[in-house]
Amino acid sequence: MSKMLNVRELFPEGQLRFIAGPCAVESEEQIDAAASFLSSRGVKILRGGAYKPRTSPESFQGLAEKGLKILRKAADQYNMLVVTEVMDEENLELVGEYTDIFQIGSRNCQNFSLLRAVGKLDRPVLIKRGFGNTVEEFYQASRYISKEGNDQIIMVERGIRTFEDSTRFTLDISAVPVLKEKVKYPVLVDPSHPAGKREYVPSLTYAAVGAGADGIMIEVHPEPERAMSDARQQVDFKTFEKIYGQAMKIREAMS
């Protein structure tokens, strides 16, 4: 399962790599379909939430350990790595049994005890920017992890809360060059959560690549309309394929 991973090998400088998969793990069939498709297109890291930090407590909260097992099985079958969110320290050990990369979600970006806890482990940590955090606060959050000894960090810009409400969050494209100046870690962009609508996901992806992102973390679902969370922003396989191809062309044009 988990080997010693180096984030710079996963996201080499000057290249573009994708992390993709559905918002939430919903069933074995759904994850198998996603992993089978994505791996065939060259995606090496599978995403999917087993614990979902939802705005409403009545919303789908995730399959928990059952979801982790489903992710692990599909990733092993298709030779992929798993990145999934750990929401609290209590679940760190359990999530660690299944994931290759720990994800710290936007709502936990400044959960300093959780950051310290993953900082003590020898496994990569993907941290998403808090939607109410400045770039400097995001940077300092990464230092809570590295200070404990773990410098295998991946930073993800995922949009911030502004007065603008025509999109779900405002994607802060400027954060990409600013972070790349501050840290040696890979800087990725999640175009799905700021978009809120799948129609905007391609444009935000291309903008991120143009800004110099090392990778894209995108929500892809075999049947987006039927998704149990974030249904409006997940793209189907066909759309993913188009986005992926175009994004790679933009990256090539830049080198």
Q: Which of 175, 139, 170 is nearest to 157 (CA)?
A: 175
Residue 23 or 127: which CB sits closer to Mn ion?
23
Smallest distance from the beta carbon of 230 to Mn ion, in angstroms? 4
Q: Are 91 and 51 spatial neighbours (Cβ–Cβ below 8 Å)?
A: yes
Task: Give the CB-side neighbour count of residue 84, counting CA atoms within 13 A.
Answer: 32
Position 26 contacts Mn ion (CB under 5 A):
no
Residue 26 or 230: which CB sits closer to Mn ion?
230
For residue 5 the two structure tokens come to 């991973």
**CB-CB neighbours of 55 under 10 Å:** 7
Smallest distance from the beta carbon of 22 to Mn ion, in angstroms? 8
Find how far residue 47's CA is from the centre of its chain: 7
Residue 152 CA to residue 124 CA, distance in Å, equals: 5
Number of residues that bind Mn ion (CB under 5 A): 2
Q: Are 192 and 234 spatial neighbours (Cβ–Cβ below 8 Å)?
A: yes
What phi and psi, each to the nearest 5 degrees, are found at residue 233?
-105, -5
Q: Which stretch binds Mn ion (CB under 5 A): 16-24, 67-75, 94-102, 119-127?
A: 16-24
Residue 190 or 214: which CB sits closer to Mn ion?
190
Smallest distance from the beta carbon of 201 to Mn ion, in angstroms? 12
Q: Which stretch binds Mn ion (CB under 5 A): 22-30, 120-128, 133-141, 202-210?
A: 22-30
Residue 107 CA to residue 36 CA, distance in Å, equals: 30
Residue window 69-108: x/- pattern of binding to Mn ion, with contact defined by CB under 5 A: ----------------------------------------
Residue 172 or 230: which CB sits closer to Mn ion?
230
Position 230 contacts Mn ion (CB under 5 A):
yes
Position 23 contacts Mn ion (CB under 5 A):
yes
Q: Which residues sit at the interface with Mn ion, rule CB under 5 A?
A: 23, 230
